[in-house]
Structure 1
């Protein structure tokens, strides 16, 4: 495995973007990279990336309407009504579409614009032939008018509900309109501004083209202390131990139990004291704190070009890894990718028809609903339904998605829950497991689960982390796991991407569009986004040859990556950026 082998994990940044280019047009040299890796990432750099992602997602939100408006510009006015009705049905955040004549009368409208007075519709900005109003409020909710000239007599107008922007806005972010007035803010006091002239020097700002909005992010300094669940310990017991009798004898509270592992607590006893006591117990094979995990906030023929709405305009990431040519070889059919994460939105139009049974490792139930959005985004990158007109294309478009919820709605979970989720995925037929989460401490219970999965021939993939550090993040750094770093559109290492000898390959991880909760799409950045690109490639390989071992899959991915940086292998890119077509061609030509 790993051509000498070693493989890792990532946090995603719930972030969002103006079209800003980061870095030079060719990969950095080793000397340049050394200057970028002297410290962990700064608050300012991460805040700027978050502001960019928010701005790009905002543009993505508006693009489906304005793109359709451009197409309608060449359509006879009388034929638009049916198209308008279909657009409203497909995009729930578009609340109304209408035609206004030269006398400012609404002559044909659907949705909210049937009741809006034409005199109330005014535009303050214009960009690429599209008119934009400033945000306005309806019953306390923010809306936006968008307009397009149809002919000398008519204007097309859309009404966009901006509540979705509020739903994905980070706690430390705020948005000001073209007048400099803030109309939506996150919950943290750091961003409770009323006007742009109030901004402190340390706030990071990115503008949104056309709208002339300013995205402002000012987070708090990141604390890197190790986190554990207070008064909780994970232990592995000898198989002969009667757990109920053992717990009662020592007056332990059994918090969760998944033989041979158990999570226990004891009133008034600190977790460190409890670990020390358990390690002296002959019934206990090992004991450790319940570590807190977080998501890591992706034969020459004519290209297969799917018709998904955002594919050509926004999914630069798939073109960069040569996925279209690769789709001539494989589409991922009959392979299951387990997403060990915050769950998956089971109603999303780009995911719902390919979900298998799932599991909630936190509550030991089947409820894998995603209240965070991270897992839904990761799942879409790996295997969104493709060529269905809607949304995005997934790397392995015919693969099944197995949703495993191990992180709560805040994107946080425990080492025990992650291990429990891995066991369930393996026992229920997962062929590939993606883990876009992690922590910097080794966990025995987690490593047991990784070993179990690897011995069952499951391909394990994770992301390297987002702290610009060479520290090992687990479970990614375990040798059985393929470790994925992040690169940007210039094929340069993302400034936040962790590095080291444990990194195996790189994949796109900045400004990646994908599925999100409530049937929406956003752009996120992080090694969390890089990792599912590799999971998708692993699924494509196994769909071509199901008999490939996990070690063979790993060696194919690493051995056919596009070399970046200096040397065949380096600590920033591993063996290079994945190349889907080259890897699949190598397999079928063997």
Structure 2
């Protein structure tokens, strides 16, 4: 969606501190408010402003700041700097800075917040109940699909609703074609991610903590970032806990929110830039700011998109505000804005809606990994903050089908393949509709890539070495490809169903005895309707350790001819 119509004119009136009404979250039966009672979060960071210097002024940042009674806190990159100014003088400092010919823009460092809908319900790792469908819940002769063996998978209704997974064997789903490649990185910008959660720890990249300014983003006092990570890409099919939308995607923890799930534009900008520089494909942001002065944030998004990353953001919870306001970064150009729906595909009453919505995803009773201090387990959540990570997981599946896609192409596929929930065409409640992973995967041109350019077999004694070759399709599963051979002496197995998917190519029994050499071809073919490359041909040769006998023709000389020669 082109969201330029959401740009509002700036006003340099004094900004009043706005008291944000925070939703309490229920954790293990206790109320845990996001801020102390009677302690409203400020609308912007006191004593801070963000300023953009023209190229010729960037080497003089300290001098420019000093001329206006400010000091440089840090370089936010791309010409933006975070400055310290006297408390209560933020707006006056901006007016003063904008008079400087070396300054091209100046903004307040606005706060962002993540409202966790109606809250979290959690349970300990060892005591979380196991959900299983009973025989009387099966209809007709259908069989329960074993898409994932995680104990809580049958309760993850949302994955079935958006066709990431299927409930019955005769129902196709995205996981039939790909469960996600490890080449895709999802950056989770949030409260940090618990490094020791057993359903996450083997998938986590190092990451960074921009709140405490260190390289340990594992402190997640709210458990919020940990939950987002599990929804998007928990370790799956491991007989433990939950399944992530993408089994293969790796997770980059980027802590930009504090223990009250609060942060600011400057911290988010640093987090976005860091995620891009760490080669993240997808940047998940389940939080919102509500002020329309967002040039610095938009430029960070522009940088992400220009470097091939796809920003995805929740549209927030309108129930947490006295009136509906435009959420950022969801409303920015280049960001995929996600609202939340219930089990009936109806927008949650508390979830944001408006022209900033691109797609919807389930946001009711969403199960994910969870932690709080030394406690590790799982929780169910409610709201668009839990819908956005599902879309991030779906984006990872689409990118696994074709890792050569641009971020804008992945976003287009997600939107165009969504199931319309409105009466006709896009609407402000759902815009393109409910994300549909299966339709998105089928709409993606399949990029077929294998790990070998040729096959070379040789005879050693009475053995053929190597005995076989393993051909690996890195990104997709068995239904997407097949290998055939052009000679009887060369045979290929059926593809394995996992990702990466493999085929074994070997010599047909009996063909190990021969002489000289034989040649043939193995054709690796995509079975998808839309493909980038339909067939890859691998040349195969089998060399024996002895030459074939040379037959010499000697003309036969008969008895009469021999007598004549005497």
TM-score, normalised by the number of residues in structure 1: 0.62
Alpha-carbon spacing, 1:502–1:249, altered in 2? closer, same or farther (3 Å):
closer
CA distance in 1, matches of 2:270, 2:35: 33
The match for 2:180 among 306, 315, 332 is 332
Work out whether 1:238 is the aligned partner of 2:57.
no
Partner of 2:157: 316
Alpha-carbon spacing, 1:426–1:410, altered in 2? closer, same or farther (3 Å):
same
Partner of 2:95: 276
Aligned to 1:578, the other structure's residue is in SS state coil
CA distance in 1, matches of 2:35, 2:266: 31
Aligned to 1:395, the other structure's residue is in SS state coil
Aligned to 1:277, the other structure's residue is in SS state helix
5 Å matches for 1:96-175?
165=28, 169-171=30-32
Work out whether 1:365 is the aligned partner of 2:214.
yes
5 Å matches for 1:333-482?
333=181, 334-369=183-218, 370-442=220-292, 443-467=294-318, 471-482=325-336
5 Å matches for 1:217-232?
227-232=43-48
Structure 1 residue 470: Cα displacement:
5.2
Partner of 2:390: 533
**1:296 and 1:463 in contact (8 A); partners too:** no
Alpha-carbon spacing, 1:541–1:5, altered in 2? closer, same or farther (3 Å):
farther
Aligned to 1:393, the other structure's residue is in SS state coil
Alpha-carbon spacing, 1:547–1:471, altered in 2? closer, same or farther (3 Å):
same
**2:229 and 2:389 in contact (8 A); partners too:** yes
CA-to-aligned-CA distance 1:112-160 (integer Å, 9 cap, x gap): xxxxxxxxxxxxxxxxxxxxxxxxxxxxxxxxxxxxxxxxxxxxxxxxx
CA distance in 1, matches of 2:209, 2:423: 43
Aligned to 2:31, the other structure's residue is in SS state coil
Larger helix proportion of the pair: 1
**1:7 and 1:502 in contact (8 A); partners too:** no
Partner of 1:573: 430
**1:6 and 1:502 in contact (8 A); partners too:** no
Aligned to 2:254, the other structure's residue is in SS state strand
Structure 1 residue 236: Cα displacement:
1.4
Structure 1 residue 43: Cα displacement:
8.7
CA-to-aligned-CA distance 1:517-542 (integer Å, 9 cap, x gap): 23211111111101011111111111
The match for 1:263 among 76, 82, 92 is 82
Unaligned runs of 5+ in 1: 9-41, 55-163, 173-185, 190-219
CA distance in 1, matches of 2:310, 2:156: 25
**2:61 and 2:72 in contact (8 A); partners too:** no
Aligned to 1:582, the other structure's residue is in SS state helix
Aligned to 2:411, the other structure's residue is in SS state helix
CA distance in 1, matches of 2:256, 2:150: 30
**2:284 and 2:311 in contact (8 A); partners too:** yes
**1:385 and 1:394 in contact (8 A); partners too:** yes
Alpha-carbon spacing, 1:421–1:526, altered in 2? closer, same or farther (3 Å):
same
Work out whether 1:288 is the aligned partner of 2:107.
yes
Aligned to 2:112, the other structure's residue is in SS state strand
CA-to-aligned-CA distance 1:213-252 (integer Å, 9 cap, x gap): xxxxxxx9x98x9711112101112233322333344442
Partner of 1:305: 147
Alpha-carbon spacing, 1:586–1:7, altered in 2? closer, same or farther (3 Å):
farther
CA distance in 1, matches of 2:159, 2:339: 16
Structure 1 residue 360: Cα displacement:
1.8
Work out whether 1:523 is the aligned partner of 2:363.
no
Structure 1 residue 188: Cα displacement:
7.4
CA-to-aligned-CA distance 1:392-416 (integer Å, 9 cap, x gap): 1000111000111111111000101
**1:7 and 1:480 in contact (8 A); partners too:** no
CA distance in 1, matches of 2:253, 2:259: 15
Structure 1 residue 279: Cα displacement:
1.1
CA-to-aligned-CA distance 1:364-384 (integer Å, 9 cap, x gap): 421212222111111111101
Report how many residues are paired.
390
Alpha-carbon spacing, 1:386–1:564, altered in 2? closer, same or farther (3 Å):
same
CA-to-aligned-CA distance 1:155-211 (integer Å, 9 cap, x gap): xxxxxxxxx826xx3336xxxxxxxxxxxxx9978xxxxxxxxxxxxxxxxxxxxxx
Structure 1 residue 337: Cα displacement:
0.4
Aligned to 1:170, the other structure's residue is in SS state strand
Partner of 1:548: 405
**2:49 and 2:108 in contact (8 A); partners too:** yes
TM-score, normalised by the number of residues in structure 2: 0.64
CA distance in 2, matches of 1:450, 1:551: 12
Structure 1 residue 6: Cα displacement:
8.4
Alpha-carbon spacing, 1:5–1:413, altered in 2? closer, same or farther (3 Å):
closer
**2:68 and 2:96 in contact (8 A); partners too:** no
**1:341 and 1:405 in contact (8 A); partners too:** yes
| Larger gyration radius, structure 1 or structure 2 | 2
Partner of 1:513: 367
